[in-house]
Amino acid sequence: MIKTLQNTLKQDRERFVIPRRVQDIIPIQRLWPDGVFQWGSKFSRTLRFSDINYAIASKEDKTAMFLGYSDLLNALDTGSTTKITINNKRLNRTNFEREILLPERADTLGPLHHEYNDMLLSKVTDSSNSVVQERYITLSVHKKNVEEARTFFDRTVNDVTARLNRLDARCEELDAVERLRILHGFYRVGEETQFRINLKEDIRMGRSFRDAICLDSMEYKKDHFIMGKKYGRVLFLKEYASYIKDSMINELTGLNRTLMLSIDIIPVPTDEAVREMQNRLLGVETNVTNWQRRQNSSNNFSAVVPYDLEQQRKETREMLDDLTTRDQRMLFAVVTLVHLADSLEELDADTETLQSIARKHLCQLTTLSWQQAEGLATALPLGVRRIDALRTLTTEALAVLMPFRAQEILDQGGVYYGQNVISKNLIVADRRRLLNGNGFVLGVSGSGKSFTAKREMAALALAADDDIIVLDPEAEYRPLIEGLGGEVIHISATSSNHINAMDMERGYGDGDNPVVLKSEFLLSLCEQLVGAGKLSAKEKSIIDRCTAQCYHEYIRRGYKGQVPTLQDFHAELLRQPEPEARDVALAIELFTEGSLNTFAKATNVDTSSRILCYDIRDLGKQLLPVGMLVVLDSIFNRVIRNRELGRSTYIYIDEIYLLFQHEYSANFLFTLWKRVRKYGACATGITQNVDDLLQSHTARTMLANSEFLVMLNQASTDRVELARLLNISDNQLSYITNVDSGRGLIKCGSAIVPFMDHFPKQTQLYRLMSTKPNDNFS
């Protein structure tokens, strides 16, 4: 026997002790607050890691992920054992209501609040998504004391974390309380909210941590166990097929039941493995030679070597070649699975389902007889292994038991965006947690862009007191804004409403000279008025000089008193001696003294409402680009005020591609896009003209650097550009190709998840958000 395996089996051998009480079945002898558990001379530590998008990745990406996972297995320390666990746990309704549902409101939005929460509850009561998965890696090692064990864990945990990060799987170490919470959630299904433990207080009071997590009763039978009111059974993978698909583990854990699947791994040093395989090959060759000698002695010189001997020789040579030339390692592994049910009949049916899945892959999943207690201890993420049904595998053969499936997005306190197409779980994201909360909503007409943005607005308006500001060039947000108690400001060339294009709040420059930023804004404005590329260097200098002169007195008064207007700016231009100044003044006269002077006068509308919409549809072709730019600057002033008040601001800019059609307006928006993040604001661009958007280098940069994207049904040319820009695989592109409204991809940080959303139509919220002309609300 291989020396490493022999030592491991010897170290893992335990003295059998009959449990006198339920607490004794928990295989933890001692624990430390940092998460180190001890049983005998064995210490263990557990890491929780997130899923990655393996199921929807392209063939090339799957290969890269497979090789990355193989590298992780190859790097496992030979002096330790490793357990990879997938935990299917029931979604606790109480936890869900506390973490996901919107908090209660006592204002006029109460009915809409109840509608929204009822919609969320209807999504999770569906049996297909009532289970959530967690994944753990438990490292175990035999050491003399905990200090030596911690030294080992410090080294191996960092290595495992780094390799998981390369796979884009986030990883975190679990402390003692979190590890006990996992056990509590399994032992006491449905009582997750009752988990209460304080290690310091328990030590002071003389209470055992086992009392906080143990179940009421446990009864072991030949082929199952009864745990409280639940029935459970432990299975193990007895026979492996010569070829296993990488989807088998996902199919086994896809059962909508509380279960845990664990893969125990014992790595073997390569030199020992090579010697073992050489000895095996020598034994096989000896058997072949002896067989041939016996045939020759019978004068049967043309006899062919039997198939089984030839197959043994072939497989042994292949494995030896894997170890010596293909960077493979020898690993011993055992797969155990424990699942729970409410009755014995349901348990038997689930067992048959699991066994049929294994048979489909030509594997045999067998019930442990009279070893249910040992199997249960082995399946839990504790580092204990009491089942010796080990199978010799190479790195690639073990890596095929792929624990990854699909990424999930579930941020506590986040906003609902739909359901994961793969797992059917809710997608709940909090953009404020991202490095850059700005984002885009992209899709062809009719794909559900505005509905997606409105759904986010509604959730934000109902959940918190953050400000929501919309720049609406199509006048389609009024019903929702007014339904949420917000204010709609209608701006047109003939309207009596005016917004001063030169409004400036204290802190406009964020510590720098505010005139510099305002000068850049006025350059952008004049370019919109005069025409793209028609401002000369002299005219730009004059605009900058006049900007500083207009604001000089206002800044000297401490940003108090009357704010200068575009009419003051026009008058300042006329006072300049250069003829170029009079040319600029004449070019903008239509917008300052003429009939299109909507933005040239002092602001006379109330912009203090928490939910605010600027309706600029009737500005006309001449004023629309200018109006978008002026309103954007007004919004920026609002963001500055909110930062002083400690408030978050969510900004929505519909038809954002219009701002990228001119150089200065694009640059101003780019500057604003970067600045609002520091002010606690999240900006969202909405457009169906993705191709026009991608023609601008500035827009492409903003799109590539945005950590939040919602991509709905895309035109063929747009799909190609987005795939190249965001590195989206062909398989992922299928989720934004000829799909129904409300389906697509959502990019949140590094996660790209396919989603779908079927919002209940018979609700007041849907009536406020929908813009479909064929919707019938009768």
Instruction: Inform me whether the pLDDT recorded for 609 exceeds 90.
Output: no
- Reduced to 3 states (helix: H, G, I; strand: E, B; else coil), residue 637 is helix
CA separation for the pair 687, 711 (Å, rounded): 11
User: Would residue 633 count as lying in a domain?
Assistant: yes
Residue 513 clears pLDDT 90, i.e. is over it: no
Do 582 and 634 reside in the same domain of the chain?
no
Beta bridge partners of 334: 264
Give the H/E segment covering residue 666.
helix 663-678
The whole-number pLDDT of residue 454 equals 93
* Amino acid 127: pLDDT: 47
Of 48, 67, 165, the residue nearest 399 (C-alpha): 67
Q: With 50 as the cut, is the pLDDT of residue 417 above it?
A: yes
**Euclidean distance between CA atoms 567 and 597, whole angstroms:** 9
Residues 485 and 560 in one domain: no
Distance CA 141, CA 383 (A): 9
Same domain, yes or no: 378 and 394? yes
Answer yes or no: are the C-beta atoms of 393 and 333 closer than 8 Å.
yes
- Please state which of the ranges 315-319, 397-401, 726-730 shows the lowest mean pLDDT: 726-730
Q: Is the separation of the CB atoms in 330 and 323 below 8 Å?
A: yes
* 8 Å CB contact between 226 and 219: yes
Element (H, E) at 701: helix 697-705
Domain shared by 425 and 341, yes or no: no
* Residue with the two structure tokens 């929702």: 480
- Calpha distance 648→674 (Å, rounded): 15
Residue 339 domain-assigned?
Answer: yes
- Range with the poorest average pLDDT among 92-96, 470-474, 499-503, 735-739: 92-96
553 and 504 belong to one structural domain: yes
Average pLDDT over residues 487-501: 85
In a domain, 37, yes or no: yes
> Quick check: 467 and 647 in contact, CB under 8 A?
yes
Average pLDDT over residues 632-641: 84
Question: What's the pLDDT at 165?
Answer: 92
- For residue range 704-738, list pLDDT tens digits in order: 878 899 999 988 888 888 888 888 888 888 899 99
Question: Does 586 lie in the same domain as 631?
Answer: no
- CATH number where 420 lies: 3.40.50.300
**Exposed, middle or buried by CB within 10 Å (0-12, 13-18, 19+), for 558?**
exposed
My answer on whether 143 and 48 are in the same domain is: yes
Q: In the predicted model, what is the mean pLDDT of residues 740-746?
A: 92
Q: Judge whether residue 531 has pLDDT over 90.
A: no
pLDDT band (50, 70, 90) for residue 510:
low
Cα 752 to Cα 406: distance, rounded to the nearest angstrom: 9
CA distance 370 to 252: 23
Residue 320 lies in a domain: no
Kindly indicate the confidence band of residue 224, based on its pLDDT and cuts at 50, 70 and 90: very high
* Boundary of a domain, candidates 602, 635, 668: 602
350 and 413 share a domain? no
Distance, CA of 324 to CA of 661 (rounded, Å): 61
Query: Cα 401–55–444 angle (5° rounding)?
Result: 175
Position 124 pLDDT exceeds 80: no
In angstroms, the CA 396 to CA 641 distance is 58
**Is residue 279 in a domain?**
no
Tell me the C-alpha distance between 295 and 646, whole Å: 91
Asked whether residue 17 carries a pLDDT value surpassing 60, the answer given is: yes
Single-letter residue type at 771? T
Boundary of a domain, candidates 542, 569, 602: 602
Angle between the N-to-C axes of helices 514-530 and 663-678, in degrees from 0 to 180, rounded to the nearest 10: 150
What's this model's pTM, rounded to 2 decimal places? 0.82
Highest mean pLDDT among 90-94, 595-599, 737-741: 737-741
Query: pLDDT at position 475, please?
Result: 86
* CATH number, residue 546: 1.10.8
**Per-residue pLDDT tens digits for 541-559:** 998 899 889 988 888 888 8
Range of the domain at 437: 407-497+607-770
**Helices 537-556 and 579-587 sit at what angle, rounded to 10 degrees?**
80
Whether residue 92 contacts residue 274, with contact meaning beta carbons closer than 8 Å, is answered with no
Is 281 a member of any domain? no
Q: How many residues does the chain have?
A: 778
Q: Looking at the structure, do residues 521 and 591 belong to the same domain, yes or no?
A: yes
Q: What is the pLDDT averaged over residues 80-87?
A: 96
Say yes or no: 46 and 155 in one domain. yes
**Nearest by Cα to 756 from 462, 455, 481:** 455
- Token code pair at residue 690: 């993705």
The pLDDT value recorded for residue 341 is 94
Judge whether 64 lies within some domain. Answer: yes
193 and 50 assigned to the same domain:
yes
Q: Look at residue 275 and tell me if it is in a domain.
A: no
**The pLDDT of residue 36 is above 90:** yes
Domain boundary among 578, 602, 626: 602
Q: Is the pLDDT of residue 10 over 90?
A: no
Q: How many domains does the chain have?
A: 3
Which tokens belong to 255? 């059962």
Average predicted confidence (pLDDT) for the chain:
87
Average of per-residue pLDDT across 672-677: 84
Higher-confidence residue of 179 and 647: namely 179
- Say whether pLDDT at 182 is over 90: yes
Measure the N-to-C terminal CA separation of the chain; round to a whole number of Å: 77
Distance of CA 268 to CAs 40, 144, 330, Å? 23, 22, 6
Angle between helix axes 663-678 and 697-705 (nearest 10 degrees) is: 20
Taking 80 as the threshold, does the pLDDT of residue 306 lie above it?
A: yes
- Angle between helix 579-587 and 514-530 (nearest 10): 70
Do 563 and 602 contact (CB within 8 A), yes or no?
yes
Identify the pLDDT of residue 776. 53
**Percent residues over pLDDT 70 in the chain:** 97
Q: What is the pLDDT of residue 160?
A: 95
CATH of the domain at 235: 3.40.462
Alpha helices in 326-477 (DSSP H): 344-360, 372-379, 395-399, 449-463
pLDDT digits (tens, 9 = 90+) for 325-334: 888 999 999 9
Same domain? 429 vs 491? yes
> Residue 131 is inside which H or E element, if any?
strand 131-142
pLDDT at 622 over 80: no
